[in-house]
Amino acid sequence: MRPLKLLIIFSLLSLLPPICLAQEGKVFEATVDEDGVQRVEVVAGSYYFDPDHIVVTRGIPVELKVRKEPGIVPHNLVINGKEDG
């Protein structure tokens, strides 16, 4: 094979591990602390958020702490209300 073809094939194969190792999603149901606040900690890593689904009770304050693991993959955080779907 030509060196360029080998490089392209190797590059494509190097993308497979993150895709193949994707975990089943975790659902975290927040509970209300003694001070009346629901607290959730999220870790953002390469190709994942942990937990990736959070359920909170409407009308009760929520404190969301997000920490990013070292890496080169940028992350976005989107918070939808029930009316947003």
At residue 24's C-alpha, the angle toward residues 79 and 84, to 5°, is 20
Say which residue, 44 or 4, is predicted with more confidence: 44
| CB-CB contact of 57 with 38 (8 Å) | yes
Does residue 5 surpass a pLDDT of 50? yes
Give how far the C-alpha of residue 80 lies from the chain's centroid of Cα atoms, to the nearest Å.
15
Average pLDDT over residues 12-18: 56
pLDDT of residue 37: 95
Residue 44: how many other CB atoms lie within 10 Å: 19
Average pLDDT over residues 17-34: 70
Does residue 11 surpass a pLDDT of 60? yes
28-84 pLDDT tens trace: 898 899 999 999 998 888 778 889 888 999 899 999 998 888 877 776 777 777 675
Domain positions in the chain: 23-70
- Strand pairing category for 38-45 and 27-29: unpaired
The answer to pTM > 0.75 is no
